[in-house]
């Protein structure tokens, strides 16, 4: 009888320990696809898992912004997944298979307002800095590659807003990409300021619209462009066929049209 009782207690204790482990080390998302703009517990899990394997370096806060988007894209690229920046079932399955998620730790630190990280291979205790989390940086500050200064980003945003406000978002990213493509091209100045203020290069400079205050959409378009999205497909020119007066621009090999702009080589 004593042996049976001891065995029962052992199995009960083992069951409790297993339940405790799996309760804290969650293995499943909620089931929905996660894209930029999403919020909630499953975004917290996504950020934590991406940080665990070294792709995400931002704050784990449950807000799917540009930091999460680019971390996810980089993860997808490295593992041969569809490169769409969306955490669908396939991406979630792959991520779950190679990462860990200690839900109790992550949510506990968020609830306490602690500044913390969740990198794999490091003790959890060493990743907690007690006290209030720091003031959040803007998406522009957080996601700009180191090679670009704040002045570069602000100037690009001014140019995008002055040249293409009212255009579809993809078209605004394409305008920013054209400027960046020119910086890398031998026929143009090798700086963002040099390209934008090259005489006769942009209408917005000529008519003063370059100095209008850009909106967040223009800034986001710049961030997408400097992080590698080029809807223009390597174009170095664009023009509006309705307002263009130059015969020369029509001689350039055309690549595609986005909104009102034709992008060309």
Q: Based on the fold, state whether residues 85 and 123 are members of the same structural domain.
A: yes
Q: Is the pLDDT of residue 140 over 80?
A: no
Query: What H or E segment, with its residue span, contains residue 116?
Result: strand 115-116
Q: Which residues contact 34 (CB under 8 A, 6 or more apart)?
A: 42, 43, 46, 64, 86, 87, 92
Which range marks the domain in which residue 161 is found?
141-264
Q: Based on the fold, state whether residues 123 and 196 are members of the same structural domain.
A: no
Q: Directed axis angle between helix 216-226 and helix 150-164, to 10°? A: 120
- Structurally, how many domains does the chain consist of? 2
Q: Give the pLDDT band of residue 237 (cuts 50, 70, 90).
A: very high
- 182, 188 Cβ separation under 8 angstroms: yes
Q: Give the pLDDT band of residue 261 (cuts 50, 70, 90).
A: very high
18 lies in a domain? Answer: no
- 176, 221 Cβ separation under 8 angstroms: yes
Classify strands 128-129 and 261-264 as parallel, antiparallel or unpaired.
unpaired
Q: Is the pLDDT of residue 146 over 90?
A: no
Give the domain-ending residue among 75, 108, 134.
134
**Average confidence (pLDDT) over 164-178:** 94
3 lies in a domain? Answer: no
What pLDDT sits at residue 89? Answer: 94
- 8, 89 Cβ separation under 8 angstroms: no
What pLDDT sits at residue 143? Answer: 55
């Amino acid at each position: 009888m004593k042996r049976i009782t001891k065995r029962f207690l052992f199995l009960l204790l083992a069951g409790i320990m297993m339940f405790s482990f799996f309760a804290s080390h969650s293995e499943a998302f909620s089931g929905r696809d996660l894209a930029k703009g999403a919020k909630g517990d499953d975004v917290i899990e996504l950020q934590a898992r991406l940080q665990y394997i070294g792709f995400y370096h931002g704050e784990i806060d449950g807000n799917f912004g540009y930091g999460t988007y680019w971390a996810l894209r980089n993860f997808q690229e490295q593992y041969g997944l569809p490169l769409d920046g969306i955490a669908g079932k396939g991406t979630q399955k792959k991520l779950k298979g190679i990462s860990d998620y200690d839900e109790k730790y992550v949510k506990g630190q968020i609830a306490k307002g602690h500044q913390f990280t969740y990198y794999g291979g490091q003790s959890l205790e060493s990743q907690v800095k007690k006290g209030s989390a720091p003031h959040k940086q803007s998406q522009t500050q957080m996601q700009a590659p180191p090679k670009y200064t704040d002045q570069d980003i602000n100037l690009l945003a001014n140019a995008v807003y002055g040249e293409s406000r009212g255009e579809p978002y993809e078209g605004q990213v394409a305008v920013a990409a054209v400027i960046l493509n020119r910086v890398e091209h031998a026929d143009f100045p090798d700086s963002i300021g040099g390209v934008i203020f090259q005489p006769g290069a942009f209408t917005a400079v000529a008519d003063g619209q370059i100095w209008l205050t850009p909106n967040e959409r223009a800034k986001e378009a710049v961030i997408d462009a400097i992080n590698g999205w080029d809807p223009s497909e390597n174009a170095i020119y664009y023009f509006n066929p309705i307002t263009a007066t130059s015969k020369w621009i029509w001689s350039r090999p055309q690549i595609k049209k986005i909104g009102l702009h034709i992008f060309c080589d």
